[in-house]
Amino acid sequence: MLLFGSNITPRFHEFSLDDISLMNSYKGEESTAIPIPILVLISLGIPIIIIVSLSAFRKSLSLQRRLWDIFCGLLSLCGSQVTQLTITILLKNICGLPRPDLISRCLPSVSVLPFGQLATIEICTNDDLPLLMDGFRSFPSGHSSTVFCAMVLVSLNICGKLQVFDRRGISSHVILVILPLLLACFVACTRISDNRHFLRDVIGGSIIGSTVAIFFYYQYFPSIFNLENCGRAYPPRRYGLATLYNNVEGFWNLEERTSGSFQRRNLNSIESLRKLIEATNIHISPQDLVSTGLSENIDLLNRLSQELNGRYINLDE
């Protein structure tokens, strides 16, 4: 995605040679506070370690549940990062706004233009086209969107796993939640001090990254305010059963030692199956399903689908 974005020609926005905000000096990537390799470590390496650790060492959960939570955590991280990068790269090239160091990248052929006339890229003499094109990718900040996406996701995982909102007032838990956000703020602010972005770019990137992270977290995990769930992810989803279950696909059961909010949508639950069986001509006791395996469960659901033939059953009643 990064290679794709760097090879797209942005829309070259007009600029003024008299604009002091565009006269900052250019720093090479290796001279910046957070170069790309460090950003990758912060935005991928650290979140992976934290997400895996938060689930792997929870001995109160079964091994099956811990592995599934790790998988969902990593899936939300990868999905959110790819999504925010796509949004950020598209906006960078569509907006084509100049960076604070554009004039030092441009090396304009003249120093003064007629009053009121804006300069275009044609005035630039720099032969390094990739460097010049990157000078028109100021908004939004890619570093900010990437690091905020990662750190917000980490904070949400910590909130859920440690039950920060349990009203017990454990300050250490709150600090653990805040630290990733402080790191994200630091990385974002360095883009201003490195003459790469304006404040608007950093704020815009931070909003994009945070929004995408929150969206992807709640695709795989219940609310962090739901304390009974203890930060566990939704179990594996079933597909193709929406017409039977209130347009909700439902989930396969995992080996659980404690209950959680996600179980209200589990289709393996005896109560849900009882309501469906009562609406058909199938003669089977829901209690008998406790000892059946996965294949028998699937066979029953296939029979239910044929018997109900698209009928709508409200399981919430």
143 counts as catalytic: yes
- The two tokens of residue 148 are 């905020």
- Of the candidates 160, 158, 151, 156, the one whose C-alpha atom is nearest the C-alpha of residue 205 is 151
Q: Say which of 13, 143, 173, 283 is annotated catalytic.
A: 143
Q: Say which of 13, 173, 197, 283 is annotated catalytic.
A: 197
Alpha-carbon span 187 to 147, nearest angstrom: 7
Q: Which residues contact 122 (CB under 8 A, 6 or more apart)?
A: none
Please provide residue 143's backbone torsions phi and psi, each rounded to the nearest 5 degrees: -60, -45
CB 107 within 8 Å of CB 168: no
283 counts as catalytic: no
- The two tokens of residue 146 are 């990437």
- Of the candidates 257, 249, 228, 213, the one whose C-alpha atom is nearest the C-alpha of residue 66 is 257
Task: Write the DSSP symbol of residue 251.
Answer: B
CB 156 within 8 Å of CB 213: yes
- Of the candidates 222, 220, 269, 275, the one whose C-alpha atom is nearest the C-alpha of residue 244 is 275
| Residues noted as catalytic | 143, 197
